[in-house]
Amino acid sequence: MDLEANMSLLEDIKIIINRNIDLKKDLSDEEIEEIITKAVFEKSRETYLSVTDKQFLISYFFNAMRRLDIIQPLLDDPAVTEIMVNGPDDIFIEREGRISKLNLAFVNKERLEDVIQTIVSKVNRTVNEASPIVDARLEDGSRVSVVLPPIALNGPILTIRKFPDKPMTMEQLLAYGALTEEAAAVLEHMVKAKYNIFICGGTGSGKTTFLNALSNFIPADERIVTIEDSAELQIVNVKNIVKLETRNANTEGKGQITIRDLIKTSLRMRPDRIIVGEVRGGEALDMLQAMNTGHDGSLSTGHANSTKDMLSRLETMVLTASSFPLEAIRQQIASALDVIIHLGRLRDKTRRVLEISEVVGYQDGEIVLNPLFFFNEEGKMSAEKVEGALVRTENPMIHTMKFKMSGIRCKV
Residue 147, pLDDT score? 96
Q: Residue 274: what pLDDT? A: 92
pLDDT over 70 at 383, yes or no: no
Asked whether 214 and 299 are in contact (CB, 8 A), the reply is: yes
pLDDT band with cut points at 50, 70 and 90 for residue 23: low
Q: What pLDDT, on the 0 to 100 scale, is given for residue 141? A: 77
Among 8-12, 78-82, 146-150, 285-289, which is the least confidently predicted range? 8-12
- Reported as a pLDDT band with limits 50, 70 and 90, residue 24 is low
Dump pLDDT digits (tens) for 331-353: 999 999 999 999 999 888 889 99
Give residue 82's pLDDT band: very low, low, confident or very high (50, 70, 90): very high
Mean pLDDT of the chain: 88
Closest CA to 313 of 352, 287, 292, 293: 287
The whole-number pLDDT of residue 386 equals 84
Question: What's the whole-number mean pLDDT along residues 7-24?
Answer: 76
Residue 330, pLDDT above cutoff 90? yes
CB count within 10 Å of CB 98 equals: 8
Task: Work out the percent of the chain whose per-residue pLDDT is above 90.
Answer: 45
With a threshold of 0.75, does the pTM exceed it? yes
First to last CA, the chain: 59
Whether the CB-CB separation of 161 and 146 falls below 8 Å is answered with no
Phi, psi dihedral angles at 277 (to 5 degrees): -50, -45
Amino acid letter, 229: D
Task: Tell whether the torsion through CA atoms of 248, 254, 256 and 260 is positive or negative.
Answer: positive
Residue 248: pLDDT band (50, 70, 90) is: confident
The span from the CA of 175 to the CA of 177, in Å, is 5
Q: Does the pLDDT at position 218 exceed 70? A: yes
Residues 382, 392: Cα–Cα separation, whole Å:
24
pLDDT tens digits, one per residue of 134-177: 888 887 778 899 999 999 998 999 999 887 777 788 999 999 89
Per residue in 186-200, pLDDT (tens digit) is 999 999 999 999 999
pLDDT at 3 over 70: no
